[in-house]
A and B are shown apart, each in its own frame.
Chain A
Amino acid sequence: MRFELVRRPERSALFSALSPFLAFGLTLIAGAILFALIGQNPVNALYSYFVEPLTEIWSLHELAIKAAPLILIAVGLTICYRSNNWNIGAEGQFIIGGIVGSILPVLYPEFQSPLVLPLMLLMGMVGGAVYAAVPAFLKARFNTNEILTSLMLVYVAQLLLDWLVRGPWRNPGGMNFPETRQFDAQAVLPELFPSSGRANWGIVFALVAAVLAWLMLSRTLKGFEIRVMGASPRAARFAGFSAKRMVFFVFLLSGALAGLAGISEVSGAIGQLRPTISPGYGFTAIIVAFLGRLNPLGAVAAGLLLALTYLGGEAAQISLGVSEKVARVFQGMLLFFVLGCDTLIHYRIRRVAQAIAPSSITDTPAASSSEAAALEAGGTGGAR
């Protein structure tokens, strides 16, 4: 006896709605087992994870701060991945966005104007976009694999930032420690409700970007082009869409959003450049994009959920002394369950008594349509 997947004629609305809950339920059960194994009361531990961080206002602010860069980057990646372009280097674009956006407050602190902050944000976006244009150019011009070039450029960006803050951009009044000068008040992204917590405008940028991206994807011709390009490159070619222009469009867009996330983080949450400005947001956002089923609005929910697991991990360490590694394992399990359960949207499980010989040779159109369908399952699980 074995099980096999059978593709549903259309995506299941039932499982679409149910899958996140199913995944969450499975995570709770597996998490309870994990915590019981390491000698913790499972209920207490799960409470620390998922409830404790939500019980206080200041903690909700922190959730917004943690989720904002994840959502902002993931929204851009969502669009990129929907068009079948694989930008894995958002981490690098985030860093370059932070660097370019910081040129004004670091090198020209005497330039005082209300324009400083908007200019910084703009420059951050441009920086991220230009950095993303490198793999886009290499892909469009030389057909170079964008996954690898964008990934390699992450390391280069990290080293560039490291060099800048330890060398030419080092704070002259900072005892030679590796950091730039603190930004002036006018260069700091304001807090939303300073009386209750320190959440800043970053989360607003993230939500606005998510809604705009969703509108573009579902309501505009460009969005249609992106979806066709992702679902069936051949069909897109017949429709006269240019794959090269698309590469540039989605890379520049995702790079700009990652850059905006970078400068927002630097200006809002950190207030200066440091040798590292991201604990891997660019990579985590890739997972957020998929958890959100490559839907910009889904990315919002996924970003908040993932941010919650970080906060929960800390809460569990403080209140129960659970190791940080357990938090990471738990996070990994959650991701696997969500990814696995989402399969049920497109496939149902059938039990077969024994292996049946593969069907007779299908003709070419059928084979290629199955290929497109398979691709669609992986590439475009989002709302249509």
Chain B
Amino acid sequence: MKKILIGLAAAMAVSASVPAMAQDKTKACFIYVGSKTDGGWSQAHDIARQKVQADLGDKVETSFVESVPEGPDAQRTLERLARSGCKIIFATSFGFMDQTVAVAQKFPDVKFEHATGYKSAPNLATYNSRFYEGRYIQGVIAAKMSKKGEAGYIASFPIPEVVMGINSFLLGAQSVNPDFKLKVVWANTWFDAAKEADAAKVLIDQGVDIITQHTDSTGPMQVAAERGILAFGQASDMIKAGPKTQLTAIVDTWAPYYEKRIGAVADGSWKSESIWDGLKDGILTMAPYTNMPDDVKKLAEETEAKIKSGELKPFTGPIKKQDGSEWLKAGESSDDATLLGMNFYVAGVDDKLPQ
């Protein structure tokens, strides 16, 4: 039996090594840090990949590797993808940054795109989403809906991305209610439904009546639904987990961006850029505004429209830092570099930022 199998394997080796690829297809490849069905970050990228495949049909061939640990494994995976004929490779986790830089250097003819990073090269672009724009809208809604004037925030890790979100949420809330308070709990995980649920229970027990999260599971949404309070979804529309609970959610919608960039590779117009798209570009969208009265819904929609038109920039002065010192003068808007390296709270956060 074994001999037969080995013989078969040898025979098939020849056919397997012949690449069966049509010439006019652009091969686009993705590498995910989580599983493609993780219900959060990686799944959002894979949904986008499937949409790309469906929309572009014969013009594109997509391929992916999931659950790739950050570090040396990522470098190997990227290299294997580059060698397998991928024309453009999307590295979808911050932790893949240096590995992507190294492999991009080695394969100058392949285009690389790194999500949420800050290192680029002639064949390596970076892309990110202004998630904080959505958090500002959430803050506005929270301040309108909360009876106690206090929300609970389940945070993952104190990186600039997350700190930015906390600040933006609070600034949005303060635009409605200047005394709005925010309690922060660091779950130290991106994805542990039970632990996130525990964090939600703790925040509710301590008196908040609105929960928002920067972790990816629906655990907190379920707890909020059980306890009869309101909550915001994260990464995907979580309305199924809380039909009477979810106010809105920040939904990662990468597909338009991916289609644009793959198209650029196909017609030769691709160039390396550092892209930080927002609500107006469709890289993130707000789930329908639900479980709120019409006037709040109207305010949320107006806020969204103002952000899209550029009339409203969430980080616009006057803003004080948590320690009381002035950060932005009235009318002054923060530059992107400060935001991308943000490591301080604005005034009003009831937490000490882990350093």
Contacts and interface: CB of A to CB of B under 8 A. Distances in A.
A and B touch in the complex (CB under 8 A): yes
B80 A276 contact: no
Nearest to A321: B63
Interface stretch (A6-14, A173-181, A336-344, A366-374): A173-181
A348 to B, nearest CB: 22
Interface stretch (B156-164, B191-199, B286-294): B156-164
B94 A46 contact: no
A317 B71 contact: no
Interface stretch (A231-239, A240-248, A264-272): A264-272
A28 interface: yes
B155 to A, nearest CB: 13
Nearest to A167: B355
A265 B73 CA distance: 11
Nearest to A55: B17
Given A314-B77, A318-B81, A29 B5 contact: yes
A286 B16 CA distance: 34
Contacts of A325: 35
Interface string B42-64: 00000000000000000000011
Contacts of A44: 12, 16
B342 interface: yes
A43 interface: yes
A67 to B, nearest CB: 12
Contact of B2 (A28, A167, A279): A28
A66 to B, nearest CB: 7
The interface residues of chain A, by DSSP majority, are classed as: helix
Interface residues of A, number: 50
Contact of A175 (B70, B71, B157, B160): B160
A324 B84 contact: no
B256 interface: no
B96 to A, nearest CB: 11
Given A167-B354, A270-B72, A25 B81 contact: no
A311 interface: yes
Contact of B98 (A46, A52, A271, A277): A271
A47 B70 contact: no
Given A178-B157, A269-B71, A274-B95, A43 B355 contact: no
Interface of A: 21, 25, 28-29, 32, 41, 43-44, 46-48, 51-52, 55-56, 58-59, 62, 65-66, 162, 166-167, 175-178, 182, 198, 265, 269-272, 274-277, 279, 310-311, 314-315, 317-319, 321, 323-325
> Which 4 A-B pairs give the minimum distances between C-beta atoms?
A279-B69, A269-B72, A25-B2, A43-B12
